[in-house]
Amino acid sequence: MNILLVLGTRPEAIKMAPIVHEARRRASEGIRVQVLSTGQHRELLDPVLRHFDMQPDMELGLMRPSQTLSGLTARAIEAIDGALAELAPDVVLVQGDTTTAMAGALAAFYRGIPVGHVEAGLRTGNIRAPFPEEFNRRTIALVAKWHFPPTTRAADAITAENLPSDGGERSQILVTGNTVIDALLWTLDRQRVTPAQSEALDEARRWKSREGHYVVLVTGHRRENFGEPFREVCRALADIAEAHPEALLVYPVHLNPNVVAPVHEILGERSNIRLLPPLDYPEFTALLSESRLVITDSGGVQEEAPALGIPVIVTRDETERPEGVEAGKVRLVGPHRDGIVAAAERLLTGEISSQNPGKSALGSPYGDGAAAGRIIDFLLEKPVKAFEYGRE
């Protein structure tokens, strides 16, 4: 079986890497894996590919300065179609909800190649939040033959949509857990042997070594928050930094100008805020593991932090990952200054002020670190161990 993984962004590479590793490990069982990179986020993607040792078999280099979604989508479908003709895969796997994933699924569908959707079934119910991701993942669901949702709730969302059959054959759903937990635990395990080092990490560790001091990790880049909502988030971060001089807020800043400008304008002069360029994945995971609290609008971080026992404040009004909220590990507060500050105050002075985060995926609603193996088992038509959260 020749499996082609189509990816183009940093999160896709992180979440596809465990599948590449598992397929390589089991090559003797008759499985071959290839990687096609669109380069949708080239400057953020390449370091992740190096970290996970997954050099693409083909790179399309679709990134353009100030590209539009329409332009990227059109170029991606045409370029991926040509790559499919050359690489001739038996199966195409796409991950998540990026433009690359949607274009890859559509191009494979046009050629009659079965599509497997990794991290399927995430829904907010609002086609414009997140934008365009909610549209992308719903489109992928229409053409996917195999759905690999991370949780039972995600599987139920797919079932509820009563998706059309493919020539009379219903698509198949397998709850696997999220491969991001596989990637996180693999990376942290390697760091136990060779700890990640950087100037930012060194400062964070020195800060933590002072009595009563701690680190708060911040990320933010969602398109739907651009403008005044994002400025509100930045003002909230400034308020938190002022109210908690014992906290070091570390913010790797996304390269999008809609993020860079307000972040540096509002937060640039704060003595206990560090604005950093985007971090490599090993450095980011190490910094995450050093943090007491995370404030983010990222989907992946909502999954990673709970696996380490670290609470999360989400600066979005809606999330397609409600399992963390229901488990009490995530607070969904939106891009609202007062709500963010209030949630941080409750967590930093009460609920977690004396806790030490645990470094285990056992309490995570998103997986146990074995998702990639379940996907490969399924594709090889071997017995699949049931893995359904909250069900007997």
pLDDT of residue 198: 87
Measured distance CA(111)–CA(233) in Å, rounded = 44
Instruction: Say whether 203 sits in a helix, a strand or coil.
Output: helix
pLDDT of residue 170: 72
State mean pLDDT over 327-339.
95
pLDDT of residue 361: 44
CB burial string 150-183: b at 16+ within 10 A, e below: bbbbbbebbeeeebeeeeeeebebbbbbbbbbbb
pLDDT band at residue 356 under the 50/70/90 scheme: very low
pLDDT of residue 167: 64
pLDDT of residue 294: 97
Measured distance CA(167)–CA(222) in Å, rounded = 38
Range 69-73 contact pairs with CB under 8 angstroms and sequence separation of 24 or more = 69/99, 69/132, 72/40, 72/99, 73/99, 73/102, 73/103
Q: Is the peptide bond before 245 cis (omega within 30 degrees of 0)?
A: no
Q: Which two tokens stand for residue 120?
A: 């399927």
Whether the pLDDT of residue 352 is over 60: the answer is: no
pLDDT band at residue 196 under the 50/70/90 scheme: confident
pLDDT tens digits for range 49-59: 999 999 999 99
Using left for φ > 0, alpha for ψ between -120 and 50, and beta otherwise, residue 285 falls in: alpha
Measured distance CA(64)–CA(288) in Å, rounded = 31
**Full set of structural domains in the chain with CATH:** 2-177+369-379 (3.40.50.2000), 197-351 (3.40.50.2000)
State mean pLDDT over 299-312.
92
pLDDT tens digits for range 79-104: 999 999 999 999 999 999 999 999 99
Measured distance CA(185)–CA(70) in Å, rounded = 36
State mean pLDDT over 336-355.
83
Measured distance CA(231)–CA(129) in Å, rounded = 18
pLDDT of residue 187: 95
pLDDT of residue 13: 96
pLDDT band at residue 389 under the 50/70/90 scheme: very low
pLDDT tens digits for range 143-193: 999 999 999 999 999 999 988 766 667 779 999 999 999 999 999 998 886
Q: Select from 273, 279, 237 the least CA-distant residue to 255.
A: 279
Active site residues: 97, 119, 133, 221, 223, 254
Expressed in angstroms, the distance from the first to the final Cα of the chain is 32
Whether the pLDDT of residue 383 is over 60: the answer is: no
314 and 332 Cβ atoms separated by less than 8 Å: yes
Whether the pLDDT of residue 323 is over 50: the answer is: yes
101 and 15 Cβ atoms separated by less than 8 Å: no
State mean pLDDT over 212-229.
92
